[in-house]
């Protein structure tokens, strides 16, 4: 029943990345070069894609009294209705847009392959980790953070490792 949610970016991204790496390796292509090429596009895709979350009411936020709180009225929404909530879908969307602009600005300055992709992972992970504090849908916890937050921290760590290793390798 995918119309009730459960389709997440992370799963699609992991499968897509795995498939892309296998394909690029089979064609003797430079994986890092392609990863850098697609990093800003993935961020822009996050910007656009989160509007779908907003329309469906999934990925909704916690109760909120701020002036920009959003209240869902449609009973078919996945979000609770008639309660002001943090618009976490918009937070995610804006994070994707900011990431896109940062990557677009940095790409002309970075010469090492893979660094742009690593920076994408760092930014995505940090934004995702932070926004998770405002989420209101069920977030299974593992100690003080949700599983998603731990995954976001892992992505940021992997991104830092990619950036540092790629700088060392091609410097």
pLDDT digits 0-9 by tens, 72-131: 999 999 999 999 999 999 999 999 999 999 999 999 999 899 999 999 999 999 999 999
User: Rounded to whole angstroms, what are the CA distances from 111 to 32, 97, 107, 125?
Assistant: 12, 23, 8, 23
> 7-11, 14-18, 88-92, 148-152: lowest mean pLDDT where?
7-11
pLDDT above 80 for 7: no
C-alpha distances out from residue 159 to 98, 112, 115, 165, Å: 17, 14, 8, 10
Q: Please give the pLDDT value at position 3.
A: 55
Longest CA pairwise span in the chain (Å) = 57
CB atoms within 10 A of CB 131: 21
Task: Please determine, for residue 162, whether its predicted confidence score (pLDDT) is greater than 60.
Answer: yes
pTM to 2 decimal places: 0.90
Q: What values do phi and psi take at 68, rounded to 5?
A: -95, 15
Residues 95, 120: Cα–Cα separation, whole Å: 11
155 has pLDDT over 70: yes
Q: How far apart are CA 160 and CA 119, in angstroms?
A: 7
**How far is 14 from 16, CA to CA, in rounded Å?**
5
Identify the three-state secondary structure at position 135. Answer: strand
Q: Give the per-residue pLDDT at 9.
A: 66
DSSP helix/strand/coil, 70: strand
Q: What is the mean pLDDT of residues 63-70?
A: 97
- First vs last Cα of the chain: how many Å apart? 50
**Among candidates 3, 168, 24, 161, which has minimal Cα distance to 78?**
3
- Average pLDDT of the residues in 124-144: 91
Paired with 81 in beta bridges are 72
């Amino acid at each position: 029943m995918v119309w009730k949610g459960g389709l997440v970016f992370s799963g699609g991204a992991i499968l897509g990345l795995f498939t892309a790496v296998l394909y690029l390796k089979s064609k003797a292509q430079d994986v890092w070069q392609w990863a850098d090429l697609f990093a800003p596009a993935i961020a822009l895709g996050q910007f656009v894609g989160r509007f779908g979350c907003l329309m469906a009411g999934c990925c909704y936020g916690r109760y909120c009294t701020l002036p920009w709180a959003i209240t869902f009225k449609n009973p078919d929404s996945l979000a609770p209705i008639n309660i002001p909530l943090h618009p976490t879908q918009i937070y995610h969307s804006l994070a994707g847009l900011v990431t896109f602009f940062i990557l677009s600005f940095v790409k002309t300055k970075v010469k090492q392959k893979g660094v742009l992709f690593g920076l994408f992972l760092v930014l995505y992970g940090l934004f995702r980790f932070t926004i998770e504090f405002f989420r209101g849908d069920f977030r299974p916890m593992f100690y003080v953070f949700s599983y998603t937050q731990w995954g976001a921290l892992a992505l940021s760590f992997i991104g830092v490792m990619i950036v540092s290793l790629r700088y060392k390798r091609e410097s």
